[in-house]
Amino acid sequence: MINTEISKTSAAPAGFALVMESDVDLRATICSALLLEGHRVESVADCAGVLSWRKSLGPLPDDLLLALGAGEFDPDWATLRVALDEDAVLSRASVIVLLTIQNGLTFPARARIVQKPFAIEKLMALVASDMKAAAQNPV
């Protein structure tokens, strides 16, 4: 009998990440990697999904991973961009932007840009850093 164990690959504190990615396969890959790291994860496909999610009564995300810049311009980006700085739920979270092309988009000052294609290990290291900071500064 062979036992297979999946364990966390880092010692970073577990946290909550909200992932926005329109590509179903990439979204599943990112979410799986986050789950393997021990984080709670929810995901949406687009800016409208993030805006809708923020109205829920669930826990506050520690990290927002937002994929932008590919395909058609998301018409809800301007609204989400303002909410990232002004909304009580979204303004406290760290922001990682997964970017294909910039298309003239602007981002919150706290956002870190990860250019696609990216190494999943690099993304997980950024998330681990964010989760550690969130654990040290609870709301």
Taking only the tens place, the pLDDT of each residue in 8-45 is: 455 556 899 999 999 999 999 999 999 999 999 999 99
pLDDT value at residue 11: 56
d(CA 124, CA 113) in angstroms, rounded, equals 13
Q: What is the DSSP string of 4-50?
A: -----SS-PPP-EEEEE-S-HHHHHHHHHHHHHTT-EEEEESSHHHH
Please name which of 78, 115, 80, 83 lies closest in space to residue 96, comparing C-alpha atoms: 115
Q: What is the per-residue pLDDT across 119-131, written as a single tens digit (0 to 9) for each?
A: 999 999 999 999 9
70 falls in which pLDDT band (50, 70, 90)? low
Reported pTM: 0.87
pLDDT value at residue 63: 96
**Structural domains of the chain, with CATH:** 16-134 (3.40.50.2300)
Mean predicted confidence (pLDDT) in 100-125: 91
pLDDT value at residue 38: 95
